[in-house]
Structure 1
Amino acid sequence: MMAGSGKTSLSLALACAGVLCASLMGAAHASTRAKAVAAKPTPAAVKPAPPPSPAPQKQSASAEIRLIEIYKLIGAGQTREALGKAQALVNDVPHFHLAQLVYADLLMARTSKLSTMGAAPSNLSAMAPQRLEQLKTEAERRLAALKERPPAGALPAQFIELPPSTRHAIAVDATRSRLYLFENGPNGMQLVADHYASVGRLGIEKSTEGDQRTPLGVYYITSRLDGHQLTDFYGSGALLLNYPNEYDRRQGRTGGGIWLHGVPSDSYARSPNSTDGCVALANPELRTILDRVQPRSTPVVIARSLQWIQPGSAEQDRRNVHHLIEGWRMARASGDVNRLLAFYSPQFSSGAYDFSQWRAALTKEVGQQKTRSFQLKDLSILGWKDKNDLLVVTFGEVADGQRTGSIKRQYWGKEGGLWKIFYEGVIG
């Protein structure tokens, strides 16, 4: 698309340069600031007094929806309407760097034909060497989320069974830079929202302290921190995860401080791979999650790529796992220690207990218990598969005649083709 006059072309080119410079340099400054922060979140990030609250960004909660609408208009050749909407978006959310880049593209398209989106002049892109590629990748991930929607009614394969008491669940697809939020209602778990998310600077598969990678696995939210408890770097708040979990420890993985958190108040989003191992979301989107999910009962799956399945298609697998756990419960209630111990791995460990110590403790406990029956309440089963098969089973152990009991969590792994418990502990 060519400009109508030389004067108009010059003014548009200058405007475009200003927008690109703001987008690229603003992001470069954010990157510099991020490097000044500790390698991973620690309790030192918590502040005793709240910082001044930044002015809220107008309509920022729908920023991604508005950006996608602009892309649709560009695809339909309606660039004039797209330009108006892009200008409104950057006015409302000035720190949305990707929106700034799209706006600059649309301005440049009025002065000359664009060979590709995000084609910044070399003198501008040199101001922040890697930032332009990061913005392009962010655009690709956001657009892919529009095109590659999960099948209607499908759930991540890791959600084998979630009880009604689990009100929400979260799944992160690291390859797609996407976080999915599910809500448990009368019809079971349903996808209610999904958001762009950033992961580790050096990718995924965390294994050691400070490796700047995001862990893969099944976790639980342990606690919540509001924004006024944190430095501005973590944005609107944070949800802390139980990394390393017992499976991670068994694999020798180290580190900690893995959070779902926001971004600094002068940014809207971070590039796809830019954290020290956490999962970061735009503050408006994080706030909708902070307000809904409950610590301790909310599972979080972080996968390289999510496998979506229809709940009914895995019913037989679910029943098989259910029967396995019921077999453990009946062995426990029978008072037969040898029958019960057959469910445990010789590599079992739980706190200070190894297998021999656990066997002694179980023998004593079962002897005191006699044959008193108990039920499993609010049974939750999460599955995971990498080089090993894993089940994470959480339940309330309630003795007959009682209303409440201890909350336990077990980790099951396959040994010689058979499921064995390699960790069991009380978590509440």
Structure 2
Amino acid sequence: MKVSGFFNPKRFVVGLSLMACLSMLSLSAQAENNADGISADMVFEAPTRQAERLLLEVLYYIKQGEMNLAMSHVQDLTERHPDYHLAQMIMADLWAFRAGNLGLLDRVGELYPITVRRLREEAQVRWQFAHSDESLVKNLLHSSVLKVGQQPHLVLINLAKSRLYLYQNQSGELNLITDYYISMGTAGAGKEREGDRKTPIGVYHITDFVAGERLADLYGYGALPLNYPNIWDQSLGRTGHGIWLHGTPSDTFSRPPQSSQGCVVLNNDEMGSLVSKFNVSVATPVIIVNQAEDLLFLESERLEVLNEVQHWLANQGERFNWADVSVYAYPNELQLYYATFPDVRRDEHLIHQYWRRDEEGAWQLVLQSTDPIQIATRLN
């Protein structure tokens, strides 16, 4: 059944509202051109990626008015993942639409406004990501990383896109190996204080792995704690603790984009892949930005900063290995750069440095700390 003529996308949505969700999207001209279908060469190697593809196909068919195709695909999706709340709500919408019971959609929207809004947002961000310009991801990486050391992986999280990117370090070159949908704090990005329900922006490191068996069901597969607040956060008076990458409850396939207390939340299978398949572990750097504009990076400063850090190391009288040094542009901070490298005087410790240009134009080491690579997580 292809719906046309009498079909009003703005009417079919007052409930969970797939069409409303799609009608709200402000896709660029390029994205609209790409929206004619879901690319066959998109890589969905894991069941969760297959689920995302099915969801995108459902949204596409609804957008085209192909309701029977949308229904068959969403039924397939819910059979594979009965705990996928967004898919269940879409299917309920489609059944109500097929029965001509649009009043039910009105009542659902009135009874569960927060749930409806959050699930709309998940559909929206997944759709927008699928039609986004891939070059933006490459630009974001280039603006974030001046030099990478010898750690096997790097994690880059773009909160504005609800996306985590995992890179593998191959002889100093970072290659994207996968990306995952993520959720962040209910109050958005830019953590400042304990309990503000925001996800921090900055450069952090994974300090531990906590298996799910040691945690409440809320954390699913397990957790990778981060070193928030780092010394830069502390210098600005930022408070809070317990910022983790973690999984979802056992009865939940995924969570809406803004639904955590500040942590970064992944689907359980994808969290498991990070830990077990890709061996993401302690000391892995995690860069968290809210959007590309957070990186106030000047290309002309790249060599200046690298030369300054290298010169400092050469003057220490210690045998620091330049290949071990990583340097990053610090997000949301003008002319602030973060360098980190192993401490040659103490095993299993990292040195963290923050460099900034002073009023006279000279580069200054403004903060430095040395911390253990692994910090055991204290559970209450």
TM range (shorter): 0.7 to 0.9
Q: How many residues align?
A: 326
CA contact (8 A) 1:377 1:396 kept: no
Residue 253 of structure 1 pairs with residue 238 of structure 2: yes
Deviation per CA, 1:174-198: give whole Å up to 9, x if none.
1222222112225811222222211
Q: Is the 2:199–2:263 Cα contact (8 Å) retained in structure 1?
A: yes
Residue 89 of structure 2: aligned partner: 101
Aligned to 2:364: 420
Q: Aligned match of 2:332 in 367, 371, 386?
A: 386
Match of 1:303 among 289, 300, 323: 289
Mark the runs of 5 or more structure 2 residues left unpaired by the alignment: 4-14, 17-45, 373-380
Write the distance in 2 (CA, Å) between the matches of 1:386 and 1:154: 16
Instruction: Answer with 1 or 2: which has the greater Rg.
Output: 1
Counterparts of residues 144-155 of structure 1 (less than 5 Å): 144-151=128-135, 153-155=138-140
**1:136 corresponds to which of 106, 120, 138:** 120
- In structure 2, relative to structure 1, the CA distance for the partners of 1:210 and 1:407 (3 Å cut) is closer
The superposition leaves residues 327-383 of structure 1 with CA deviations (integer Å, 9 ceiling, x where unpaired) of: 2123334xxxxxxxxxxxxxxxxxxxxxxxxxxxxxxxxxxxxxx765434111111
Q: 1:87 aligns with which of 56, 63, 75?
A: 75
2:195 is the counterpart of 1:210: yes
CA distance in 2, matches of 1:277, 1:411: 24
- Displacement after TM superposition at 1:242 (Å): 0.5
Superposition map of 1:149-298 within 5 A:
149-151=133-135, 153-156=138-141, 157-163=143-149, 165-185=150-170, 188-291=173-276, 292-298=278-284
2:106 equivalent in structure 1: 122
1:276-320 deviation per Cα after TM superposition (whole angstroms, max 9, x unaligned): 1111111111111122244333111111113699xxx95x54322
1:202 is displaced (CA, Å) by 1.3
Structure 1 pair 101–193 and aligned structure 2 pair: CA distance change class (3 A): same
Q: CA deviation at 1:110?
A: 2.7
- Cα distance in 1 between the residues matched to 2:171 and 2:98: 52
Q: 1:288 to 1:154 in 2, by over 3 A?
A: farther
1:141 counterpart letter in structure 2 = V
Amino acid at match of 1:414: R
Q: Is the 8 A contact 2:96 2:105 kept in 1?
A: no
Q: 2:315 aligns with which of 331, 334, 357?
A: 331
2:79 counterpart letter in structure 1: N
Superposition pairs for residues 396-415 of structure 1, below 5 Å?
Answer: 396=342, 407-415=350-358
Percentage of identical aligned residues = 33
Q: Give the match's secondary structure for 1:102.
A: helix
d(CA) in 1 for partners of 2:125, 2:349: 43
Distance 1:260 1:79 in 2: 37
Q: CA separation in 2, counterparts of 1:179 and 1:240? A: 15
Larger displacement relative to structure 2 (79-88 or 257-266): 79-88
Distance in 1 of aligned mates of 2:320 and 2:258: 47
- Answer yes or no: is the 8 Å Cα contact 2:205–2:286 preserved in 1: yes
Kept in 2, the 8 Å contact 1:388–1:414? The answer is no
Q: Give the Cα–Cα distance (whole angstroms) in 1 for the partners of residues 212 and 348 of structure 2.
A: 34
The one-letter code matched in structure 1 to 2:356 is G
CA contact (8 A) 1:260 1:279 kept: yes
Give RMSD over aligned pairs. Answer: 3.1
Match for residue 37 of structure 2? Answer: none
CA distance in 2, matches of 1:111, 1:375: 69
Is the deviation greater in 414-423 or in 140-149? 414-423
Determine if contact 2:144/2:329 at 8 Å carries over to the other structure: yes
* Pairing of 1:41-120 with structure 2 (within 5 A): 59-60=47-48, 62-112=50-100
- TM-score, structure 2 normalization: 0.77
Give the match's secondary structure for 1:301: strand
The Cα shift of 1:392 comes to 1.5
Given that 1:237 and 1:290 are in contact with CA atoms closer than 8 Å, whether structure 2 keeps it comes out as: no
Q: What CA distance in whole angstroms lies between the structure 2 residues aligned with 1:420 and 1:273?
A: 37
The alignment partner of 1:302 has SS state of: strand
Answer whether contact 2:93 2:105 (CA < 8 A) is retained.
no
Which has the higher mean CA deviation after the structures are superposed, 94-103 or 179-188?
A: 179-188
| Matching residue of 1:369 | none
Q: SS of 1:223's equivalent?
A: coil
Q: Which is further off, 64-73 or 139-148?
A: 64-73
Show the counterpart of 2:40.
Answer: none
- Residue 405 and residue 376 in structure 1: after superposition, are their counterparts in 2 closer, same or farther (change >3 A)? farther
| Distance in structure 2 (CA, Å) of the matches to 1:406 and 1:225 | 20
Gapped regions of structure 1 (runs ≥ 5):
4-18, 21-57, 334-371
CA contact 2:294–2:332 (8 Å) conserved in 1: no
> How far off is 1:95 after superposition?
1.4
Distance 1:405 1:90 in 2: 46
Q: Deviations over 1:149-177 (max 9, x none)?
A: 431754422122112x2211112211222
For 2:172 and 2:69, how far apart are their aligned partners in 1? 40
Q: Which of 298, 304, 319 in structure 2 is aligned with 1:320?
A: 304
SS in 2 for 1:175: helix
